[in-house]
Chains A and B, each alone.
Chain A
Amino acid sequence: MIRQILIICLMLIPFFSLFLRIPTVETESVTAMANTVGLTVILSGVNVWLSMTFAWWLLWTESRWRNALEWLVFLPLFIPMLATLFGLYLILAESGLIGTYVGVMISLLVVTLPYSIRLASNGMAVIGRPLLEQARLLPFKRRILFVLFPLFSRTMRTIALFTTVILLSQFALIQLIGAGLIPTVTTELYQSYAGNNRNLALSNTWMLILIPVLIYFLLSVMSRWTVRILKGRLQ
């Protein structure tokens, strides 16, 4: 018990300085908020979808490219953001995607997908082929709905969480690829850290912390509900 309290305290101490100030919710930019929530939801969805299918494919494929491809999706994790950023800009500029939502989505996908795939394939590897073998007999839709989704809802939630947090940490990427035209909460708030108003920076920190928490709990509730409904249907 004492150990638990100690751990919890240590984890929470840094928040102490937050309470020097009550958050003032800055409703100034509705677009920034809408962009953030929209990007988070879409990106989480795409990430879950792509990473789970890729991990599934990786688990069963007999392709001789399997190893190479596994490495290919793994390696981007080790390239510093700073290094990819400018190259990515040039590639996207060639395709006219700078300053567009699609461009920002693609670039965010580049930084989040490797994590998601790693999480997904680790999750599947732990359960292992034998358990999943039976699921393969089911048709595609039923397989996902009744076996994979309930089984991996936790992994999926983790993927969504990672995506959210990575997205909220991205300042340079969104600012550069979005050419400043796609404001998110992060790009809006980031400016205050470069400013000289400590109180403003502090209340913005509140926002940056509360938003992912809210999104995460929303997703949790949603996934729990769907799983419950599915289970109800099975019985």
Chain B
Amino acid sequence: MKTWKLLFALMMLTFVAACSNDQPVEFSDSFETAVETAEGTTVNMYMWGGDEGINDYIDDYVAPRVNEEYGVELNRVAMDTAEFIRQLSLDQKADRQVGTIDVVWINGDNFRNAKQAGLLRGGLMERVPNATLLNETAQQTDAGTPTDNLELAWGNVQFILHYDAERIQNPPTTFEELRRWTEDNPGRFTYPEVNDFTGNAFVRHLLYERYGAQLTDDPTIDEAFWDDLKAWSPHLWKEGQTYPKTLEQLDQLYASGEVWMTMGFNERRAEAEVTKGIFPKETRALLLDHSIASTHFLAIPFNAPNPDGALVLIQELLSPDAQLVKQGPDYWGDGTSLDLTKLDEADRQAFKELGDGVTYPDTEQLRERSIPDYGPDVIDAVREEWPRVAK
């Protein structure tokens, strides 16, 4: 009987000891002190890890730099965005004030959720010196949700389609033509489910085609729109019986030649895929009537164990050097979130000299056709009502 009691006592002890809650770790008063306290620490950066180019950019370029400059060890943790948001919300439920996540890569509805649940730290603009260089329009809202200083813009991209020019000689130029094209080429086009960030955005482009900007104020979508979409589905891949779950699945279908078009945010994303031989060699950009501009961000969770280290890392990620390499073709090709007019001449010139890849769209046209995103209400409405299309 003795061992029972002993064990029980031990259990109780661990629980009691653990229940005394820690105080959250606060930011230092200035960036200079943050740099001092951050030295010799480790920063855990949580981000989606499905792209090798992006991972290499962090591991091979950024990590050595923050280590050299600030003596900060960068630990990249690959995790889906929705998953670490859920982890944070569970932390909140369990009142875990000192957590594990220091910096997150976030945007769209995940940000909206995190913001609503109060999972992020505010006041980043004042704390990160390089934040003054940011493009102000990009920094303002995140897919329609005001950022409220809870996140800082990391990259700036636009929605675009890509097609295999070897298979498609005369690509469509508008969404209407795309529809007709699928009638002539049944099964060669599809888009991800609307639970996917990209799939949802594609449907929003179709919405913009019909409603223009008016949907922003009044997010009610007619039955007719969904009926039309349903009527279109038999011409899609697998006759619209099913849709790829994620953009990556669509990319795989495109890579294997099963479908002839793919899509996604980031107008430069196909370049590295083509060089690596994943996408078909003749992959070209396809810009239709309009293209949603989207920004992705960096944020610091409420229970970050090393907030000062997080500030230092973000400062580095927003530096012109790091942004230049990020936009270049070597790793990622992600558009900069900095306002080029705020940079000094040499940096600005360097960005201009990056040049164009073969899979890039025309920069002028892209800017002309750029449209702002609808708010999260429309994203939710699409999620809620689209399933009838797939039924």
Contacts and interface: CB of A to CB of B under 8 A. Distances in A.
B81 to A, nearest CB: 11
A96 B20 CA distance: 10
B50 A191 contact: yes
B14 to A, nearest CB: 6
Interface stretch (A153-161, A192-200, A218-226): A192-200
A98 interface: yes
A93 interface: yes
A192 B86 CA distance: 21
B22 to A, nearest CB: 9
A191 B86 CA distance: 18
Contacts of A180: 44, 46, 77-79, 84, 100
B44 A175 contact: no
Given A194-B80, A196-B273, A197-B278, A98 B100 contact: yes
Given A94-B15, A95-B15, A191 B49 contact: yes
A196 B90 contact: no
A179 interface: yes
A176 interface: yes
A192 B94 contact: no
B50 A93 contact: no
B201 interface: no
Contacts of A181: 44, 75, 77, 100
A94 B87 CA distance: 14
A25 to B, nearest CB: 17
B227 interface: no
Interface string B112-151: 0000000000000000000000000000000000000000
B18 A99 contact: no
Contact of B255 (A90, A175, A176, A198): A198
For chain A, the bracket of interface size reads 20 to 34
A115 interface: no
Most buried by B among A90, A187, A192, A197: A197
B385 interface: no
B36 interface: no
A93 B90 contact: yes
A194 B83 CA distance: 14
A181 B79 CA distance: 10
A181 to B, nearest CB: 6
A162 interface: no
B348 interface: no
A222 B86 CA distance: 42
B255 A196 contact: yes
B304 interface: no
Given A175-B79, A195-B51, A93 B96 contact: yes
B369 to A, nearest CB: 26
A97 B14 CA distance: 10
Contacts of B96: 93, 98
Nearest to A197: B278
A90 B90 contact: yes
Interface stretch (B203-211, B245-253, B322-330): B245-253
A195 B52 contact: yes
A90 B278 contact: no
A95 B94 CA distance: 10
B31 to A, nearest CB: 27
A134 B188 CA distance: 72
A179 B87 contact: yes
Interface string A26-55: 000000000000000000000000000000
A93 B44 contact: no
Contacts of A196: 50-51, 247-248, 251-252, 255, 273, 278
Contacts of A175: 79, 83
Interface in A160-213: 172, 175-176, 179-181, 187-188, 191-192, 194-198, 200
B178 interface: no
Contacts of B273: 196
B390 interface: no
15 contacts: A90-B94, A94-B18, A94-B19, A94-B94, A95-B14, A95-B18, A98-B99, A99-B100, A176-B83, A179-B87, A179-B101, A196-B247, A196-B273, A196-B278, A198-B252
Interface of A: 86, 89-90, 93-99, 172, 175-176, 179-181, 187-188, 191-192, 194-198, 200
Given A94-B94, A181-B77, A198-B278, 19 more contacts: A90-B94, A95-B15, A96-B18, A176-B86, A179-B99, A179-B101, A180-B44, A181-B75, A187-B78, A192-B50, A194-B80, A194-B246, A196-B50, A196-B51, A196-B248, A196-B251, A196-B252, A196-B273, A198-B255
